[in-house]
Amino acid sequence: MKTQLTSIIKTATTALLLASPVLLNAQTKVANLRPYDKTGINVFEAPKDTNAVFEDLKVKVGAGFTQSFQNLKHENTANNLYKISPGFNTANANLFLDVQLADGIRLNLTTYLSSRHHNETWVKGGYIQFDKLPFKGQIWDDIMKVTTIKVGHMEINYGDQHFRRSDGGQTIYNPFVENYIMDAFATEIGGEVMVRKNGLFGLVGVTNGLIKGNIDSVLVTKVNGTVTDDLQHKYPSIFGKLGVDKQLQENLRVRLTGSFYHNGGAGAGGNTLYGGDRTGSNYFMVLEPALTGTPAAAPTYASAAFSGRFNPGFTKKITSYQVNGFVKAAGLEVFGTYETSKGKSNKELELRTANQAAIEGVYRFGKEENLFVGARYNTVKSELLVGTAIQDVKVNRVSFGAGWFLTKNILLKGEYSKQEYKDFAVGDIRNGGKFDGYVIQAIVGF
């Protein structure tokens, strides 16, 4: 059934791409959409234009393509790592369909055509965005002048870093190659309401708390022979954001936001706030085990899809907070993150804590800022359950990046990174672990 469904999706995608020139020639601008090219950089929440004119149903076809070349070296204490050498990684590709359904009503459907974690075509998610409502009355017009509503299976708006991360083939927004060490990203089923006026905004959302939907009962889990009540239920996730985003002068923009995310007890499958990326890391096979044992147990690009990242494993209960600051002064931009998270898996009784900090500076220059250089420091400190004991561990990364936009749709960028793992237990493959080297990417986005 899965093979048949994949074949159907690929056939439909091919037909759509063949027809796309006709669609593109017939379309007008889809309103309130973050562009998928260079002009979408430093756009956070999608813009809101209540004066956009609706004529008829229109379809916009977009895509993101990324091809990487990797030259990374890694080591650990036990010297039992996967053997890697310089080479080209699996190419990533995304397909975007945005449809202007009605005045102020937009539909988005995003499909992963190819990725490291899953090579087959499959849907990331889709949602409907309302910047107007089809109700008559001045009260509805007044409300929707400042309100945006999104409903669907969508990327949740927790924190600001997810607006700057690489997502499969769509890597044009990220001035570096890889995402944060602790990568907060999830697609969940639910809705969110955002109100914004004069640069101030607030958002609240509710989702199912899972990467996909299910109606399964939650199995009772015993921890050390004890059944606790909160392990026998599943709860929705609640998240929110408050912020200010002001253009203070012609060449000075300031943004400051605070976000939270909470789930009191995820159901079958577990919460995936720090493991929801279904495309995979842009660092292939670093700090992964060597090819030993049975072939079925050997790591593959897909089974070891998140190399170089750290997931604290808060799959059952989680509360996270993220604070972000962004300043753009002429060609210089600075983006910072502080994040703290507390949670546990369904096999734990006690909550653990993980903290993350990151700071990056990017300088864009040249005609229309088509060249850039940047540096980023990212660190994670976390409590990790080792057997029955809690152990403090740390992961640090320093990255240097540079890029050149040949056009607003074509980007060539590269990154040098060095990452180190501290205080991991003997026997953990990350004990004494570190890697460094460079990755170069060629990117198309439209």
The answer to whether the predicted template modeling score (pTM) of the entire model surpasses 0.85 is yes
pLDDT computed for residue 17 by the predictor? 46
Other C-beta atoms lying within 10 Å of the C-beta of residue 83: 8
* Calpha distance 245→256 (Å, rounded): 7
- In whole angstroms, how far apart are CA 187 and each of 162, 263, 270, 277, 433? 11, 14, 13, 8, 31
CA 33, 36, 39, 41 torsion-angle sign: positive
**Could you give the count of Cα atoms lying within 13 Å of 247 in the half-sphere of its Cβ?**
5
Whole-number Cα distances in Å, 37 to 174, 243, 275, 405, 420: 12, 25, 26, 10, 33
Domains held by the chain: number: 1
Q: Tens of pLDDT along 184-215?
A: 999 999 999 999 999 999 999 999 999 888 77
Structure confidence by residue, pLDDT tens digits, 408-437? 999 999 999 999 999 999 999 999 999 999
Average of pLDDT values for 340-358?
Answer: 94
pLDDT tens column, 43-79:
999 999 888 888 899 999 999 999 999 999 999 999 9
Instruction: Report residue 344's pLDDT band, with 50, 70 and 90 as the boundaries.
Output: very high
How far apart are the C-alpha atoms of 365 and 332, rounded to whole Å? Answer: 9
CATH code for the domain of 260:
2.40.160.10
Is 90 exceeded by the pLDDT of residue 291?
Answer: no
Q: Which two tokens stand for residue 287?
A: 């700090």
pLDDT band at 6 (very low <50, low <70, confident <90, very high): very low
Residue 348's domain comprises 2-445
- Residue with token string 């607006």: 163
What confidence tens digit (pLDDT) does each residue in 216-244 have? 777 666 666 666 555 567 789 999 999 99
The predicted structure's pLDDT at residue 268: 65
Predicted confidence at residue 22, as pLDDT, reads: 41
| Percent residues over pLDDT 70 in the chain | 89
Does position 345 have pLDDT exceeding 80, yes or no? yes
